[in-house]
Amino acid sequence: MIHHILGALLLLELLGSCIIGEHNLPSLSAKISKFLESEGGPAGNPHDILEGTRWALLVAGSRGYENYRHQADVCHAFQLLKKGGLREENIIVFMYDDIAFDADNPRPGVIINSPSGDNVYEGVPKDYTGDNANVQNLFGVILGNTSALTGGSGKVLDSGPKDHIFIYYSDHGGPGVVAMASDEFVYADDLINVLKQKHQGNAYASMVFYLEACESGSMFEGLLPETINIYAITAANATEDSFAAYCPDDYPYISPAYDVCLGDVYSVSWMEDSEKHDLRSETLGQQLQVVRRRTAVENSEGGSHVMQYGSPVLSREYLYTYMGTSTLNDNYTLSKRIATPSTVKAVSQRGADLLHHQHKFNKAPKDSTRRLEAQKQLLNEISNRMLVDNKIKKISRLLFGTKRGIAMLHTVRTGGQPLVDDWSCLKTFVMIYEEHCGSLSRYGLKYMRAIANMCNANITTEQMSMAAARICIMN
Ligand SMILES: *[C@@H]1O[C@H](CO)[C@@H](O)[C@H](O)[C@H]1NC(C)=O
Ligand SMILES: *[C@@H]1O[C@H](CO)[C@@H](O)[C@H](O)[C@H]1NC(C)=O
Ligand SMILES: *[C@@H]1O[C@H](CO)[C@@H](O)[C@H](O)[C@H]1NC(C)=O
Ligand SMILES: *[C@@H]1O[C@H](CO)[C@@H](O)[C@H](O)[C@H]1NC(C)=O
């Protein structure tokens, strides 16, 4: 019996080699020894056999205590994968790392991702922290290009053709863009090009990308090909906010010592689902359904549409392929039960920062410096937002006329088209805006579509420069 199977493996391998035109003997012997190992092991679940190595890249794109939740999400994901059996050398973490010991943290050195959750901060590797959590390092890490790195641990996705890569990212975003802790932007076309390069380098068998951010669908829509074995799932579609979870005053109640949201709806949904199942028996597609229900708009005041992009065929793969599984979950097979909605009134990513300042203000004793500080932060944030709102509105009106100018802020291209065709135009226009009008800031990312629409309408660089100068400098 065993000889038959070995013979079949050999034949398959030879056929495979003919197709790719070379004989790959080391990989053949690895396959046979792996096969023998599994033959000798417990009968077990057929999905226990995994060829290749699991890699994970975890990225929190924000900083500042008001954004507690993004780093909490990423720390939690690290613990989950570690329990699943991934080796620390194969998990790479990007986080600013300014939360655990922030003066506002009621439990110094501890980060939690749910009201009664464990400390998820312990043992998280500090691979790329502070300003090393930047775009250049992110792309260097994905491509496994150590000479592109500056600072950080030097760990990269040093993956091969049989390996499986899981990327999870949590932060603020906007149409066609997500932010990094270094305050730079990751543009969708650059990210997609890096993923295509990784594919051309034959550096993975399959990849799964979980993305939590506002308008996260716009990072992949019309951009991620079906043919490069990448399956992306996003917290929101291309035109809506994503939502924070476990916020002050929401049910389930968090300790009043916290005046921040502890997690994000989509993120805690997939992690809490993964923690309660034998991941050898739950597929990516099954998890998508559970998470989609829990994140859905109908469930709460705030909700978003969980979307999928890329290679849908990968939805049939088991979560085990990417996340491993913890033996503690062996008895939790997939239940059909609908997960309980996590939140009653989720708070949008863009509202969560304001909520923090507001709560800090309300809780601080009258006339305390803390109260004054919170008040200042709140007023600053609100006035900055109003300034950005006004400047963009006025520029659009100047370019398109009073009435069309307002419509062009929100016009959405149809039929699954990407946000913009000419990405270099978008980047140039953002630069022009920031040169004349100051930083867009994380809040201003929501205007990426307004700026993209200027490019799509063939506004020239000169027109954009003139308009920005007129609104922001001459006024
Ligand atoms: C690696 O990064 C360096 C520095 O950015 C670049 O010059 C080089 O072309 C990259 N190598 C590959 C293989 O992409
Ligand atoms: C995207 O979300 C918005 C807001 O929730 C909704 O109106 C729209 O129908 C959604 N579009 C898709 C394609 O899901
Ligand atoms: C799972 O169930 C079996 C049989 O009831 C039991 O022996 C085992 O200890 C359980 N495993 C865990 C991790 O609870
Ligand atoms: C912009 O220019 C392109 C190329 O010249 C043209 O095909 C397109 O129709 C123009 N779009 C608009 C909105 O004028």
pLDDT digits (tens, 9 = 90+) for 443-456: 999 999 999 999 99
**% of the chain beyond a pLDDT of 70:** 86
Say whether the peptide bond before residue 252 is cis (omega within 30 degrees of 0): yes
> In one letter, which amino acid is 246?
Y
Taking CB atoms within 8 Å and a gap of at least 24, the contacts of 411-416 are 411/449, 411/453, 412/238, 412/239, 412/449, 413/456, 416/221, 416/222
Q: Name the pLDDT band for 253 (thresholds 50, 70, 90).
A: confident
C-alpha to C-alpha distance for 214 and 234, rounded to whole angstroms: 9
131-154 pLDDT, tens digit per residue, is 999 999 999 999 999 999 999 999
Q: Where are the domains of the chain?
A: 2-41, 54-329, 381-472
The C-alpha angle 263, 123, 157, rounded to 5 degrees, equals 85
Ligand 3 centre from 85 Cα, in Å?
A: 19
C-alpha to C-alpha distance for 141 and 122, rounded to whole angstroms: 23
Instruction: List residues bridging with 54 in a β-sheet.
Output: 164
268-279 pLDDT, tens digit per residue, is 999 999 998 899
C-alpha to C-alpha distance for 294 and 205, rounded to whole angstroms: 30
User: What's the longest Cα–Cα distance across the chain?
Assistant: 84
- pLDDT for the residue 475: 65
- Cβ-based neighbour number of residue 85 at 10 Å: 13
C-alpha to C-alpha distance for 268 and 264, rounded to whole angstroms: 6
C-alpha to C-alpha distance for 116 and 29, rounded to whole angstroms: 48
Q: Which atom of ligand 2 is nearest to the CA of 297?
A: 5
**Nearest alpha-carbon partner for 315 in 232, 228, 235:** 232
Q: Name the token pair of 247.
A: 């916020």
Does domain 54-329 sit in CATH 3.40.50.1460?
A: yes
Q: Which residue has the tokens 């690895």?
A: 30
Q: Which atom of ligand 4 is nearest to the CA of 458?
A: 1
The C-alpha angle 166, 168, 170, rounded to 5 degrees, equals 175
**Nearest alpha-carbon partner for 370 in 360, 379, 355:** 360
Look up 214 and say whether it is catalytic. yes
C-alpha to C-alpha distance for 116 and 114, rounded to whole angstroms: 6
280-334 pLDDT, tens digit per residue, is 999 999 999 999 988 886 666 678 999 999 999 999 999 999 999 998 888 776 5
Mean pLDDT of the chain: 87
196-220 pLDDT, tens digit per residue, is 999 999 999 999 999 999 999 999 9
Q: What value does the mean pLDDT take over residues 431-450?
A: 95
| pLDDT at 37 > cutoff 60 | no
Of 147, 150, 196, best ligand 1 pocket probe by most atoms within 8 Å of the beta carbon: 147
Instruction: List residues bridging with 166 in a β-sheet.
Output: 56, 208
Look up 436 and say whether it is catalytic. no
The CB of 240 under 6 Å from ligand 2? The reply is yes
Does domain 381-472 sit in CATH 1.10.132.130?
A: yes
Q: Which residue has the tokens 């110094």?
A: 108
- CB 173 within 8 Å of CB 219: yes
* Torsion angle of the four alpha carbons 399, 403, 404, 406, in this order, in degrees rounded to the nearest 10: 80
**Nearest alpha-carbon partner for 262 in 152, 271, 435:** 271
User: What's the pTM?
Assistant: 0.88
C-alpha to C-alpha distance for 232 and 223, rounded to whole angstroms: 11
* Torsion angle of the four alpha carbons 34, 155, 262, 213, in this order, in degrees rounded to the nearest 10: -90
Q: Which of 75, 76, 214, 247 is catalytic?
A: 214
